[in-house]
Amino acid sequence: MSTEDSAFELTGRLVRPYVITGGREIPSEREFSVTTLITAADDAPDRWVISPESRSVLELCMGGYLSVVEIAGYLGLPLGIVRGLLAELAEKGMILTRAPVPSAERVPRQLLEDVLHGLRARFA
């Protein structure tokens, strides 16, 4: 069994995610990680009718990138719901996504050096 599935099933009773997400399964962390970056596609097709919630996600993502978790925070929606809305928007080609660094056994040394350099530059 999957605890994740059970949890998302239960959200249905509390906040009706399937209504908000248009009946879609709520995607897991693997599909839209909390730190996956999202922006509205410049050439987003206009022919789709989307829910008001999806519209607010799209409008929030105009003008640059925001992470999935920021979108949830600004809109005041639980993460699971936001993942569902993003799945709908991605399917319709209305958003671009940029996945975070792929998880590897070992974090590349260069990446850690860049993080350290950035922190020192900011706070030193």
Sign of CA dihedral 104, 105, 110, 112: positive
In the set 1, 43, 45, 49, which binds another protein (CB under 8 A)? 1
Q: Given the rule CB under 8 A, which of 43-51, 61-69, 85-93 is the region that contacts another protein? A: 61-69
Range 67-86, binding another protein (CB under 8 A): 67, 69-70, 72-80
Sign of CA dihedral 33, 37, 41, 46: positive
49 binds another protein (CB under 8 A): no
Sign of CA dihedral 28, 42, 69, 82: negative
52 binds another protein (CB under 8 A): no
Q: How far is CA 13 from CA 55, 81, 87, in A?
A: 24, 13, 21
Q: Residue numbers of the site for another protein (CB under 8 A)?
A: 1, 3-4, 6-8, 10-11, 14-15, 29-30, 33-37, 39, 60, 63-67, 69-70, 72-80, 98, 100-103, 106-107, 109, 111-123
